Amino acid sequence: MTVHVKIVVGLAFALALAGCAGPTHDLLNRKTVSAPASDIAASHEIFVATTRQQATKDPRQVFDGDRSLTTSYARVDVTVPKIHQVGAIERAKGSADSNPAKQFTATDVVHYGDAQQFAKAVGADISMRGDRALVFVHGFNNGFDDGIYRITQIAHDTKYPGTPVLFSWASSAKATGYIYDKDSANAARDDLEATLRMLARTRVKSIDIIAHSMGTWLTMEALRQLAITGDRDLGGKLGYVILASPDIDVDVFKKQMIRYGKPDKPFAILLSGDDRALKLSSFISGDKPRVGDYGNAADLASYGVVVVDLTKTKGGDGGLNHAKFADNPVLVQLLGDRLRTPAALRADEPQGAGLENIGQGLGKAVGSVAEVVITTPFKVLTIATGGE
């Protein structure tokens, strides 16, 4: 066995143990577990559009890894415990019931009969919360529960001032399911496009998108489809686009961006040269570099995007370094600082403007970030945020 193959086998084993997901995918408790209101930090209503089948073998999963040819809609209510630490997702072990005083807990699920019912419900929530929506598209090896908990954590930790919407495509939630997941992402392109259009027909003023890992491929394909129809900005309602650890072939991404065109709103790529999960993806894909660990930030920035290099920051996913954007406390706060100002108010700024002033000193308090390098089409910025 060659050294290269040994490394890849080791990465595959690490993914199987840690991965982007947990060992089980139960979302609902078997029985209600009560906790004092004083132990609960917040409750979040997560709206869901999904191409997964509804779970029948294990209803606790709500939706499983099988594909559906149609989109289903739901809302999941999730509580966050007072003991929650920024960047963490506190979960019950195995298939144990969640304790709301100690872990993220899904307390209720509402299923909508069709797109019209969902649009009415999510539209009302958007109007109530401030006319903004945050769409999160999860990555490879994620169960339905993983996406629910991750968008809850992001919305909570960034203090996002709007409605969180999870687009959950049919990942098998298995480390060995890479090809299945890629096909599932491809199959969901029209569904994501339709979901974004649905949101744009509400009174929403800004639709922000955060996509992770393989979900960035799905997102770019949906944006490309919108561009082909002449509505790439959703009638001016598209806000921030943030692609975290993109699992996209670099050449394919360039072609996608050529078709999409240079963005009018802030469009960021978060990458890391030590992303071990993407090393495995690169191997599976014939040793072709992925955008998420690409070493030439200036090359990517020439397509009109901001490239944020997180290589010198720490991750919290067991050494895979594949989810730094959400599990590194300082980076989460940096992300929140940006998201709280609507993208439309930053559209006239040069890409990356103001970023050099964000987060100064935060690293000294948290001790988890050393340096972030930001490459724009015009210049390179280095944010020294303290750290060890």
Q: Write out pLDDT tens, residues 157-180.
A: 999 999 999 999 999 999 889 999
DSSP 188-243: THHHHHHHHHHHHTTT-SEEEEEEETHHHHHHHHHHHHHHHTT-TTTTTTEEEEEE
pLDDT of residue 347: 62
Q: Write out pLDDT tens, residues 201-244.
A: 999 999 999 999 999 999 999 999 999 999 999 999 999 999 99
pLDDT of residue 296: 94
298, 375 Cβ separation under 8 angstroms? yes
20: left (phi over 0), alpha (psi -120 to 50) or beta: alpha
The amino acid at 92: A
Who contacts 108 (Cβ-Cβ below 8 Å, separation ≥6)? 76, 77
For the chain, domains (ranges, CATH) are 3-347 (3.40.50.1820)
Q: Is the pTM of this model over 0.85?
A: yes
The amino acid at 360: Q
281, 15 Cβ separation under 8 angstroms? no
pLDDT of residue 348: 61
Long-range own/partner contacts, residues 32-37 (CB < 8 A, 24 or more apart)? 33/97, 33/98, 33/99, 33/100, 33/105, 34/100, 35/81, 35/99, 35/100, 35/101, 36/101
10-residue averages of pLDDT along the chain (388 residues): 47 47 81 96 98 96 98 98 96 94 98 98 96 97 97 97 98 93 98 98 97 98 98 97 96 98 94 89 83 94 94 82 88 86 72 43 41 82 56
pLDDT of residue 261: 97
Q: Which of 378, 139, 158 is nearest to 244 (CA)?
A: 139
pLDDT of residue 41: 98
| Alpha carbons 375 and 303: distance in angstroms, whole number | 12
Per-residue buried b or exposed e for 302-331, using 16+ beta carbons within 10 Å of the residue's own CB: ebbbbbbbbbbbbbbbeebbbbbbbbbbbb
